[in-house]
Chain A
Amino acid sequence: MQTASSNQNQPRKAALDTLAVAPSRALADLWDRWADKPDYAKVRGPEVGLVMVRGRAGGGGAPFNLGEASVSRASVRIASGQVGHGYCLGRDLAKAEVIAIIDALWQREAAAVEAEIIAPLQELTRVSTLKKQAEAAATKVDFFTMVRGDN
């Protein structure tokens, strides 16, 4: 799925993916705990718009337009000069703006952002994914064969 991303963008993409998937509240809590918040200027937004979500005919064939989703986005420049971009599903301007600030910070001090924000969020997503998988797995059918005792 990520064929177009070059390897050098991969860590930044992974951070942005994690931020977008994270629940708003969890992200806000972690951001609250970030001690040294930078001053920033808004470059664009935050604003709400639509992305047309595409599917593929038959699951893997030619693309078609399935329907739109609401999306929030923001771009900011932090005082040290880095420009960050935030995108997430839903009408959540605060989340998009926080993602943009964190993306800018990530370009300045990736290790700290990874340790204090990205890693905890990844763990949260991992746990919630595992929980969903375990709940679904409990509804998986175990077939067994009835052996008739008429030999």
Chain B
Amino acid sequence: MYVAVKGGEAAISNAHALLADRRRGDRTVPALRLDQIIEQLGLAVDRAMGEGSLYDKELAALALVQARGDLIEAIFLVRAYRTTLPRFGYSRPIETGTMLIERRISATFKDLPGGQVLGPTFDYTHRLLDPSIVDGDVPAPVTRDAEAEPAPRVTDLLGRQGLMEPDGPTDPEREVGDLTREPLEFPLNRDLRLQALARGDEGFLLALGYSTQRGYGRTHPFVGEIRIGEVDVEFEVPELGFAVNLGRIRVTECQMVNQFKGSAKIPPQFTRGYGLVFGQAERKAMAMSLCDRALRAREFGEDIVAPAQDEEFVIAHSDNVQATGFVEHLKLPHYVDFQAELDLIRRMRAEHEGKQEAAE
């Protein structure tokens, strides 16, 4: 017999009121403003935008406060919000080669056009907690007047000599896959993999990237280049008949250079993994590029022996909103399912007892 159960409305309502209270905390402490979060917790905002797959700093900051700083909950909120808005269309591909560069480094070339620009990095800091930053009193950064030197992508430099696998041809006829419109069907094209990786969970991709370094699908990576900065978003406006710039967004790009591949037709050349993420998200872009390269195993005819090379394993589990949804649903009432299990185990135990008694 199935008995429907209702109840809990008052408890739920009071729980949400308690959540609001705990979120606000001590009322004598000033409430956070969104501009404070955008300015001072910028990398958390960037992560909520990147994995929320929606570039909007105010929304990401609001999501962070509403989620009490729980990043995955914030990402969930951002994803939910985006479903409420109409889609105007697709931008032209952004041009990372003409980025307004804030940081640009290469681990493979010391001297390169445009130079090694460290930018606002945690690298070379001592990782010692510094109580003095709480004062908020910081001098303006040092400036150096310099001719803006073009900084071509490192992979294009080596590519000219034929040592680097080229970006490959673009087929203008082929429709670009969009996982927000069509359910994923494996095996995937690289465009869909890159889309999934760009919004994938940083921790998951970091662990997988790390696993390739430790020997599970080794790819011998070098950071060809990391660049962080602003790019224009150009959008073809039908009513105008030409493309306009919608504004600038900050992105992080990582070019991972990996060991060689060649064939009867193509002499040995470096292969590449690619990472591109909203905001300043260097670790994520690096992890993405390691995973992108590992997932190209099929394309290069490599043996698929490690988790990071298993496309379905990686892509089907990289989305933290999906993952948290399925894991967290376990805490919801499963009274009826569990009742069935209880019945089953009682029957099994009765049979077991029956057999024991028969044996005696």
Using a CB–CB cutoff of 8 Å, the interface residues on chain A facing chain B are: 1-2, 4-6, 9, 12-13, 16-17, 20-21, 47-71, 73, 75, 85, 87-91, 129, 131-141, 143
Residue of A nearest to B168 (CB): A61
Chain B at the A interface: SS class: mixed
Cα(A71)–Cα(B169), bound, Å:
30
Give CA–CA (A73, B190) in the complex, Å: 32
Q: Is there an interface contact between A138 and B143, defined as CB atoms closer than 8 Å? A: yes
Query: Do the beta carbons of A13 and B244 come within 8 Å of each other?
Result: yes
Known: A52-B90, A59-B253. A75 touches B239 (CB 8 A): yes
Q: Which of B133-165 contact A (CB under 8 A)?
A: 141-146, 148, 153, 155-156
- CB contacts between A and B, total, < 8 Å: 251
**Which residues in window 51-91 of B have CB below 8 A to A?**
53-56, 58-59, 82, 85-91
Write 29 A-B pairs (CB below 8 A) sorted by A numbering.
A1-B95, A1-B234, A2-B243, A13-B242, A13-B243, A20-B245, A21-B247, A51-B87, A53-B249, A54-B92, A54-B93, A55-B194, A56-B93, A57-B167, A58-B155, A58-B166, A58-B255, A59-B167, A61-B170, A62-B170, A65-B179, A65-B180, A66-B194, A71-B88, A87-B235, A89-B233, A91-B58, A135-B102, A139-B117
Complex CA gap A137/B144 in Å reads: 6
Is the pair B97, A60 in contact by a Cβ cutoff of 8 Å? yes
B244 x A87 contact (CB < 8 A): yes
Are B190 and A64 within 8 A (Cβ)? yes
Q: Cβ of B143 and Cβ of A134 under 8 Å apart?
A: yes
Q: B239 contacts A85, CB within 8 Å?
A: yes
**Taking beta carbons and an 8 Å cutoff, which residues of B are in contact with A?**
49-50, 53-56, 58-59, 82, 85-98, 100-103, 110-111, 115-120, 141-146, 148, 153, 155-156, 166-171, 174, 176-180, 190-192, 194-195, 198-199, 229-230, 232-237, 239-249, 251, 253, 255, 272, 274, 276, 278
Residues in B whose Cβ lies below 8 Å from that of A56: 93-94, 96, 167, 170
Enumerate chain A residues within 8 angstroms of B119, measured Cβ to Cβ.
136, 139
- Residues of chain A within 8 A of B103, CB atoms compared: 136, 139
Q: In the complex, A28 Cα to B65 Cα: how many Å?
A: 29
Q: Are A62 and B53 in contact (CB under 8 A)?
A: no
